Amino acid sequence: MSDVKKIATRESYGNALAELGKEHEDVVVLDADLAAATKTGVFKKAFPERHIDCGIAESNMMGVAAGLAAAGKVPFASSFAMFAAGRAFEQVRNSIGYPKLNVKIGATHAGISVGEDGATHQCNEDIALMRTIPGMVVINPADDVEARAAVKAAYEYAGPVYMRFGRLAVPVINDNADYKFEIGKGVVLREGKDLTIIATGLPVANCLEAAEKLAADGIDAKVINIHTIKPLDEELVVAAAKETGKVVTVEEHSVIGGLGSAVCDALSEKAPTKVMKIGINDTFGESGPAVELVKKYGLDAESIYKKVKSFF
């Protein structure tokens, strides 16, 4: 897929915020001294009076966002996933989740693909953390088109939303003209009858490539993109499991508490199915080039292909 256009979803986030700012005067963007990295600097340049740099104080930033939401604004609180979900968890839970405030959290630099920043910054636990907060919507877009649509959908949704964006540029797999984003609804990217691959975020494009490799071996894989992990599209997941009989989940996140866990929760209750979970296997990351880390931790197309093939 080297000839496919690639864009980091954090870039999409910044551009989408700037577009929202033109359309809606109630949008306010907060950052924690990382506007250049989270790309909220794009919004800041266009609307400096509606951008607040809270400094390296993420927990305080969530409290400020809660106050702005209580006053009728629609705040987008932005930082690295490790800080937005990890460092500020108590404030997100108690100040935003508990009162069900209309705060949108833009968490960039998620997952192993943060690269050279290493284990302290590679947040592979954020989806699990955010899933546990009652009423929190959790979105993990796969490409530029989906990420920009997700930001707009988050604005239109009344309530707290956690959005997960990446540092590494990923292939654009969706058609901007035809794509429709709906919170809680998965997208079938490829039909198949032998098994179902359910993916989210960065590995989605790699799963499509892996499915083509599997097809050459006579294995017809259905590929589903789950951009909203909470609420999960249980109807689609259950139907696919019943149709193909085997499910593989793929995520740039710990296999504990993320997409795989959400899928298994749904299937164990409604359609018991054999499931293989591909992700970060109960380990911390390490420093290194992002592409090499994706490969080492088994999230590149070739690794996914081999793991899925071994499932037969």
Please tell me the distance from the alpha carbon of residue 44 to that of residue 63, in angstroms, as a whole number.
Answer: 20
Alpha helices in 106-258 (DSSP H): 126-131, 144-156, 203-216, 234-244
User: Which residue is listed with tokens 């964006």?
Assistant: 165
What are the beta bridge partners of residue 78? 31, 106
Which residue in the list 19, 25, 49, 58 is annotated as catalytic? Answer: 58
CA 193 to chain centre: 27
Alpha helices in the chain (DSSP H): 9-23, 35-38, 41-46, 58-70, 81, 89-91, 126-131, 144-156, 203-216, 234-244, 259-270, 290-296, 301-309
Tokens of 83: 């800080």
Distances (CA, A) of 105 to 28, 60, 79, 186: 12, 14, 8, 21
Helix (H) or strand (E) run with residue 30 in it: strand 27-31
Q: Respond yes or no: is residue 251 known to be catalytic.
A: no
* Beta carbons within 10 angstroms of residue 55's beta carbon: 11
Report the relative pairing of strands 246-254 and 195-199 from DSSP bridges: parallel
Please tell me the distance from the alpha carbon of residue 196 to that of residue 283, in angstroms, as a whole number.
Answer: 26
Distances (CA, A) of 172 to 6, 11, 94, 125, 141: 6, 13, 36, 25, 11
For 58, phi then psi, to 5°, come to: -60, -40
Catalytic residue ranges:
58
